[in-house]
Amino acid sequence: MRHVPENFIQHLADIVDNSGLLTMSADMAPYLVDERQRYRGNAIAVVRPASTEQVSAIVRLCLEAGVAIVPQGGNTSLCGAATPFEHGEQIVLSLARMNRIREIDAVNYTITVEAGVILADVQRAAEESDRLFPLSLGGEGTARIGGNLSTNAGGTGVLRYGTARELALGLEVVLPDGRVWDGLSGLRKDNTGYDLKQLFMGAEGTLGIITAAVLKLFPRPDEVQTAFVAVPDPRTAVEFLTRARIESGDRVITFELIPRLPLDLVLQYIPGTRDPLANVYDAYVLFELASSQPGDDLRSLLENIVSNAMDAGLALDAAIAESGQQAIDFWRLRESLPEAQKLAGASIKHDVSVPISRIADFLDEASAKVEAAVPGLRVCAFGHLGDGNIHFNLCQPEGDDGAAFESRMAELNRVVHDTVVAMRGSISAEHGIGRLRKDELAHYASDVSLDLMRRIKVALDPEGIMNPGKVI
């Protein structure tokens, strides 16, 4: 470990008091390993500020001392973006104590929150004001909004509402020199120069630390209807999506693809789950309609959409949720897919996106290539068909050695990502770059793109103290 400047730890304690400073190994341990337990690091200290002023003071101190900072929200990163390196020469700056909801403006349809507010709490606060905050994802009970914005989180509602980037109107950011940029605007129209907030969303803490945000709210749905529908194949599912959007007047809020293999893994490994349909099919979609208009008979509308799809050969069977609990049960199947894959053995995961019109082509082509490379490999592809985001995960052949399978990660990544890029897709749809995909970004991004990103990094963080070694 590098030499820590004299009194550095004491100066940190003076800023946040002892309750906000962790230096013992056992206390720091939960902050030093990532969600997937792929990355483990060390740190000089874990610092937990309670205000933007404290964050600013910490950044100024670290700049003066030459100590790098790893910003961290709920520590739910899936690409190692919030984990320090093993050398232990960094501090982890956790935003967990900055968890106040500063303001709800129901008339303006905005909520202003600090970066450490848990996503589910933002949703709950909006609901209590008869509004909707639509960002929704599997880790919403632990993920914090600052991390959601820093990774431009997606989730299940992107089809209707957009990504986290599209849900933020304004930000408050502590810059790498300790200055605070107050961009907490609730305006939907503001053409006064560059849209600076966009620099920090998706930057994974490499350009500054998001400390607060003004988020968009929407009318709270008066009714939501949920269906689990068997379809012949993903190509048909895409056509079904197109027709459902038109026939519903674009009331579709989510449209998830679940092939049979990952569903079988859930039924095998997750207790209390059951097959939603009496017969077995090759593929399914889980989709929902929502309306904020009282008296809008979504049930009949959904039944008509499914019936029309069956008549057209786009759907084979369906179960429409008869209760809120049944809808929850449907969603448990979808949300249990990652855990089931973990229990099934080693897996190599890809978070990719392609144009919706190319999803079926991608699945066909990528599946054929990886199966040829590793005979017996199981393709567990699922995800947000409605916005083109597929989690193209590869499970080890049954009975094979997991470590041997994972050793082929680089080879299989190249196969999958080459296919994605050839279709004008993205190698990271919603999880970010972090450490996991840094080399892949360097391989696939154009020279111009990489040059622009590096220039922005140097301009804002010339000393390189903000989450170094991540993204770029």
CATH number at residue 292: 3.30.70.2190
Whole-number Å distance between alpha carbons of 245 and 242: 5
Q: Among the three residues 160, 192, 219, which one is the final residue of a domain in this structure?
A: 219
Residue 146 within any structural domain of the chain: yes
From the number of C-beta atoms within 10 Å of its C-beta (0-12, 13-18, 19+), residue 273 rates as middle
From the number of C-beta atoms within 10 Å of its C-beta (0-12, 13-18, 19+), residue 426 rates as middle
pLDDT in the model for residue 339: 94
Whether residues 275 and 171 fall in one domain:
no
> Which domain covers residue 114, as residue numbers?
101-219
Whether residues 112 and 206 fall in one domain:
yes
What phi, psi does 243 have (nearest 5°)? -70, -40
Whether residues 198 and 229 fall in one domain:
no
pLDDT in the model for residue 1: 47
pLDDT in the model for residue 6: 81
Tokens of 100: 């106040």
Whole-number Å distance between alpha carbons of 217 and 2: 46
DSSP 8-state symbol, 77: -
Report pTM.
0.94
Beta bridge partners of 170: 214
Residue 435 within any structural domain of the chain: no
Whether residues 213 and 135 fall in one domain:
yes
Angle value at C-alpha 248, between 279 and 236, nearest 5 degrees: 45
Whether residues 282 and 316 fall in one domain:
yes
Q: Is residue 301 within 8 Å of residue 253, measured between CB atoms?
A: no
Q: Is residue 46 within 8 Å of residue 29, measured between CB atoms?
A: no
Q: Is residue 382 within 8 Å of residue 259, measured between CB atoms?
A: yes
Tokens of 96: 């967990």
Tokens of 285: 């979609």
DSSP 8-state symbol, 144: B
pLDDT in the model for residue 2: 56
Whether residues 167 and 276 fall in one domain:
no
**385 to 139, 256, 323, 331: CA distances (angstroms):** 19, 5, 25, 15
pLDDT in the model for residue 23: 95
Residue 266 within any structural domain of the chain: yes
Residue 251 within any structural domain of the chain: yes
Please give the torsion angle defined by the CA atoms of residues 370, 373, 376 and 378, in that order, rounded to the nearest 10 degrees.
-20
The CATH number for 16's domain is 3.30.43.10
Whole-number Å distance between alpha carbons of 83 and 77: 8
The H or E element spanning position 423 is none
Whether residues 374 and 278 fall in one domain:
no
| Grouped pLDDT means (10 residues each) for the chain, 472 residues | 79 93 96 92 97 98 97 94 95 98 98 98 98 95 97 95 97 98 97 96 98 97 96 98 96 97 97 96 97 89 98 98 96 96 94 97 98 96 97 94 94 97 97 95 97 98 97 95
**The one-letter amino acid at 309:** A
Whether residues 211 and 167 fall in one domain:
yes
Provide the number of structural domains found in the chain: 4
Q: Is residue 122 within 8 Å of residue 113, measured between CB atoms?
A: yes
DSSP 8-state symbol, 362: H
